[in-house]
Each structure stands twice: as structure tokens, then as C-alpha cells.
Structure 1
Amino acid sequence: MRKKVFLVVLTLFVSLFPTAMAQAAAPTAAQLLAKTQSCSQISNGKYKTDEETSSTVSVCGANGAVFWHADMDIDCDGQRTTQCNEDTDCCFYPDTAFHTSTDQPLNAAQLPYIVVPSSSSIWNYSSSGLRGGGSCAVIYNGKVEYAVIGDTGPTDIIGEASYATAKALGIDPDPSTGGTDSGVTYICFKNSTVSPIEDHAKATSTGQSLATTFLQNN
């Protein structure tokens, strides 16, 4: 009987051990932030965080990634949901720049994604190796959420993510009153793709792996 119980416990431990190790090895917010304290600016100028603010945000280059420190505005575009629609968001638009594997707009209420500025003379995200479905780590108040590049925004404003991203980080996700004015770091990994784009579990595992490599190479 003891032998049988031991074997059951051993089997359970072995099955859970890889998961436990993966969780233990996931980069922390502090580790990632430590690699973004200095900026090698790659943008041709700086971005605003909102229409009424001055241009203060640089896009910075690193080995295998680009990053920026900004605010977070709430993107509720894409599929209509209880959280995201014309009634909850004055600026709701029923589409996103990048689509699901079945060619549907993304679901901002369910999928953590970020918004990158549309390409302009300030910065062309695709020239930095970023693309729709690319992997990013979003850091706020000691938390890390892995997201995909899901939409594009104004050419001169930076710092926006989906309802789901904000909610996961403990930021008020309401598209009308939510968001935060500062304290958000976005790290996007070059030449990365999460496929299908709507698979958040895959976005998380891919992001954790790329974040580990980022720590090693910077």
C-alpha cells in the first residue's frame, strides 16, 4: 500500500514539476524593468501619451527587443461585447488592424493586446522587426502581462492596450474612465509571432521564453 501511494505521489510530482519550474523561471517585473533603465533611442523624435500632452516618450532599442515607458489608454475596438461597444466607448470602432485566425476582429475584452503607433516619420514599427501578433511584455505596478500586438493607433501617440490587458494588470479597464497616466513599460520582442494571435496561453508561454532570452542578452 505504501509503495502504491508513493508511486501515485511520484507520478503527480513528475507531471507537475515542469509547470512549477516554468512558473518559477518566469522573469519578474523587477528583472525586466532593470533592463530598461537606459534608452538607446531608435525613434526619430518622441511621442505624446495623449493628444493634449507634449512629446516625451522615446522608443528604445535593445538586443532582440524594443521598449518604451508610457501611460495606458484603453483600446476597446474590435468585436462588440458587453464591455466594448458604442455605448461603453464613445470612440468604438468595430475592427482591429490585425485579425484572428478566422479573419475576425480581435476581442479587446478577452484578449490582452497592445496598440502600436501607425508607421510614420517618427517610427516605423515594422522596420524594427515588429508585426501583428508579435509578442510583448507589459509591466505595471510589479505585474507582468504577456500580450500580442493587436492594433495600430495614431501616428504621434503611444501607450495603449486592450481592455483585457488593463484588467489583468489591475488597471481600470473602463474605456471611458479607465487607464493610467504613467508607469507602464512595454517590451516587444523582435521577429516574434504568436499564432494563432487569439491564443493567450501561447502568447504567455512564448512571451516568457522570449523575456528570458531578453534578460540573458541585455
Structure 2
Amino acid sequence: MRTRMLALTSAACGAALLGAAALPASATGPRAGDGRGQEPEAAGTSAVEGDTTAATAAELLAEISACTRISKGAYRTDSGSPKATVPVCGTKDAVFWKADMDIDCDGRKTKACNRKTDPHFLPETAFQSSRGEPLDSAALPHVVVPGPSKVWDYRKSGLTGGSVVAVVYRDRVRYGVIGDTGPTGIIGEASYAMAKTLGIDPDPSTGGVGSGVAYIAFKNSRVSPIESRARARNRGAELARKFVGRS
């Protein structure tokens, strides 16, 4: 899963349907919060669990079953992928793509994310916290979008750092923000914390999953501060309900 990072031009430095079967997943790793403006959250919990009005994974996937392509081409899921097969699709309210999940551990140095745990670790993220610091990938569920290119420029789709994203894996829906940008030709990456909440192995060297992940980014949905997990969850749940016609 780290082949993507070998070709990394990550914005940390400058800044197609779901697979029929997903790889086995397990959640491992240390803390989920660090007390620096990011609310602790137990692994696997979600603001929508137990909420009968919450949009389900099945409902969200039904809304993105058809693709109206907005990208001028397709993306590879890894640097070694033989073909670019993943388009970015759009609706009036959101953009989405269906891909794998590689693990982004860049940003603030922590016990989980550092040069020892991740040989490709970079101490920066494209977007910063409200304190002007790199984001903490081990604590903040976030998604990586491709850097702007002729294929697709996320900024022209009403997205920016802090835009809310719903990530669907199997029967789980988790909410986060856009927190980093990556190579211009590759898609399908999220933070250590996002993988962990989805039950995907978050190890930056060996973790991730090869298929079966849907990313739904809501237009004009930026939350502030970007590091607030609670605001991303609450705003995400609200937008997801509207997206599936619940309100």
C-alpha cells in the first residue's frame, strides 16, 4: 500500500465501482486524540451510531451508484498501477470517487506517525490547524485529495482544507475533513485516524485496503477549526441526511 508514497510529490511538501470484495481489516494503533484541540474518540465510534435518522452506508452508496464524471481523466490508485481507472464524479452537492485507501501519516510527529513507523514520513500537511501547525494524522480523521492538475482541481469543485467528507467502507460511515493533498495522478488516501475509525489497518507501512472505499466530499462545507472532529461529524451527518433525501 505504500507504493504511492515512493512517487510522492505530496502537497505535504508543497502544498469504477466499489470492489466486490475488500481485504480483511483490523484496527490497531495507539491513541485517537491528544488534547491539542482534537476531541478524543474511541476507535470505531461515530456520532451517527444509534441515530435512527443517520444516513446509512447503503443509502449513501445508492446515491453514488451512477457517475457523472467531472474530472477530465481518471486517476491511478498507486504509483505502480498499470492504468488510471478512477474518475472523480459529481452531483449538485458533492463530488465522489471510489478507490482503495492508502495511509497518510504525514504532519505532526507522534508515536504512531514518525520516521521510524513510516519511512516516507513528512512533517507537514497541505492544510494547517488553527494554531498554524501541521495536522495530526494519528488523531484527526482526514482525507487526501490529488493536487490540482488538468485532470481535476478540487478547488473548482467547492472544496478546500476543512471541507467535510463522508467515507464509506463496508457498512461503516465515518466523517472527516480534507486535510492534505497528494500526487496529481493518484487518488485514494486517508489519515491514520480515518482508517482506524473505519476498522482498516492504519499502519503507515503495511496497512490500508486495496479496494471498496467510497469518498464523498460535500461542496462548500468547510468547518472551522479544521481539527474539530465533533464539528466534522455533526456537519457531515447533517449533510449526509440531506444527500440521501432525509431532510
Instruction: With the length of structure 1 as denominator, give the TM-score of the two structures.
Output: 0.89
Residue 116 of structure 1, aligned match among 127, 134, 145: 145
Q: Which residue of 2 aligns with 1:142?
A: 171
Q: Which amino acid aligns with 2:122?
A: Y
SS in 2 for 1:33: helix
Name stretches of at least 5 consecutive residues in structure 2 with no aligned partner.
Answer: 1-46
Q: Which residue of 2 aligns with 1:6?
A: none
SS in 2 for 1:72: strand
Greater CA radius of gyration, 1 or 2? Answer: 1
Name stretches of at least 5 consecutive residues in structure 1 with no aligned partner.
Answer: 1-18
* Rounded Cα–Cα distance in structure 1 between residues aligned with 2:190 and 2:168: 12
Q: Which residue of 1 aligns with 2:53?
A: 25
* Rounded Cα–Cα distance in structure 2 between residues aligned with 1:87 and 1:149: 25
* Rounded Cα–Cα distance in structure 1 between residues aligned with 2:159 and 2:244: 19
SS in 2 for 1:146: strand
Q: Which amino acid aligns with 1:134?
A: S
Instruction: With the length of structure 2 as denominator, give the TM-score of the two structures.
Output: 0.78
Q: Identify, as 1 or 2, the structure richer in helix.
A: 1
Q: Which residue of 1 aligns with 2:187?
A: 158
Seen in structure 2, the aligned counterparts of structure 1 residues 196 and 176 have a Cα distance that, compared at 3 Å, is same
Q: Which residue of 1 aligns with 2:66?
A: 38
Q: Which residue of 2 aligns with 1:58?
A: 87
8 Å contact 2:69–2:89 — kept in the other structure?
A: yes
* Rounded Cα–Cα distance in structure 1 between residues aligned with 2:173 and 2:92: 20
Cα distance, 1:20 vs. partner? 9.2
* Rounded Cα–Cα distance in structure 2 between residues aligned with 1:210 and 1:111: 19
SS in 2 for 1:152: strand
Q: Which amino acid aligns with 2:88?
A: V
Q: Which residue of 1 aligns with 2:105?
A: 76
Q: Which residue of 1 aligns with 2:44?
A: none
Seen in structure 2, the aligned counterparts of structure 1 residues 185 and 93 have a Cα distance that, compared at 3 Å, is same
Seen in structure 2, the aligned counterparts of structure 1 residues 165 and 41 have a Cα distance that, compared at 3 Å, is same
Cα distance, 1:213 vs. partner? 1.3
Greater relative contact order structure (CA < 8 Å, 6+ sep): 2
Structure 2 residue 117 is the aligned partner of structure 1 residue 88: yes
8 Å contact 1:57–1:69 — kept in the other structure?
A: yes
* Rounded Cα–Cα distance in structure 2 between residues aligned with 1:136 and 1:212: 13
Q: Which amino acid aligns with 1:205?
A: N
Residue 172 of structure 1, aligned match among 201, 206, 210: 201
Q: Which amino acid aligns with 1:46?
A: A
Cα distance, 1:216 vs. partner? 2.0
Residue 129 of structure 2, aligned match among 90, 100, 123: 100
* Rounded Cα–Cα distance in structure 2 between residues aligned with 1:90 and 1:21: 35
Cα distance, 1:21 vs. partner? 11
Q: Which amino acid aligns with 2:223?
A: V
